[in-house]
């Protein structure tokens, strides 16, 4: 671990935020609670895997992906039923085996599959939309140290745009939360 003194220099460019590194999930969780209780808003926790209980530690609300997926599912089912009814009973009806032109039972399997299809697209695309992804550039991805966020380290990043942000106090807060490595992240 490099000496903290080496990282106190202010960044050359505009600062994106301040980054604090932690070694274990329990440490980052304690730190997240400290940052949450200090009332920060524009901040985040980065980890190589989802940490159970972190949403509460950060004070996050339940994800909204479910609503988007549900809308997709409803759209899929309605599309399937209306499409089959219109095609086989309205636009070009043909008698097949004495069966009714439209029956909800015969139309159910394709509509059911379309429910799942559009519901799944809703889940994946909804997740990407809520996360504002794909994003091919991010200040953190330029940071050498941050590459360990997908390996085995844990980070708290507080953005400089946060109303409670202060160049000296925020750093002290993160150090007191137990981080042995705090550094600036350039924009």
Per CB under 8 A, contacts with other proteins among 100-139 are 103, 106-107, 109-110, 112-114, 116-117, 119-121, 123-124, 126-128, 130-131, 133-138
Helix (H, G, I), strand (E, B) or coil at 84: helix
135-153 residues labelled b (16+ CB within 10 A) or e (exposed): eeeebbeebebbeebeeeb
Among 1, 13, 50, 168, binds other proteins (CB under 8 A): 50
Interacting residues of 185 by C-beta distance below 8 A, sequence separation 6+: 11, 15, 16, 17, 18, 19, 139, 140, 143, 146, 157
Q: How many residues bind other proteins (CB under 8 A)?
A: 75
If one asks whether residue 82 binds other proteins (CB under 8 A), the answer comes out as no
Among 3, 14, 91, 168, binds other proteins (CB under 8 A): 91
CB of 55 to other proteins, least distance (A): 5
Among 24, 161, 166, 176, binds other proteins (CB under 8 A): 24
How far is the C-alpha of 149 from the C-alpha of 156, rounded, in Å? 10
Is the Cβ of residue 51 or residue 75 nearer to other proteins in the bound state? Answer: 51
If one asks whether residue 45 binds other proteins (CB under 8 A), the answer comes out as yes
Lookup: tokens for 81:
């039923």
Q: Binders of other proteins among 137-166, rule CB under 8 A? A: 137-138, 140-141, 146-152
């Amino acid at each position: 671990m490099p000496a903290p003194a080496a990282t106190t220099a202010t960044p050359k460019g505009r600062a994106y935020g301040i980054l604090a590194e932690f070694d274990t999930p329990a440490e980052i969780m304690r730190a997240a609670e400290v940052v949450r209780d200090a009332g920060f808003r524009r901040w985040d926790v980065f980890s190589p895997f989802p940490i159970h209980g972190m949403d509460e530690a950060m004070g996050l609300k339940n994800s909204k992906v479910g609503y988007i997926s549900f809308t997709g599912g409803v759209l899929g089912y309605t599309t399937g039923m209306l499409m089959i009814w219109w095609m086989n009973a309205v636009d070009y009806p043909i008698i097949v085996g004495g069966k009714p032109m439209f029956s909800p039972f015969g139309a159910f399997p394709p509509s059911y599959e379309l429910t799942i299809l559009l519901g799944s697209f809703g889940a994946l695309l909804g997740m990407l939309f809520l996360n504002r992804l794909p994003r091919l550039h991010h200040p953190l991805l330029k940071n050498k140290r941050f590459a360990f966020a997908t390996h085995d380290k844990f980070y708290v990043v507080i953005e400089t745009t946060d109303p409670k942000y202060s160049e000296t106090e925020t750093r002290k807060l993160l150090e007191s939360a137990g981080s042995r490595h705090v550094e600036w992240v350039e924009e």
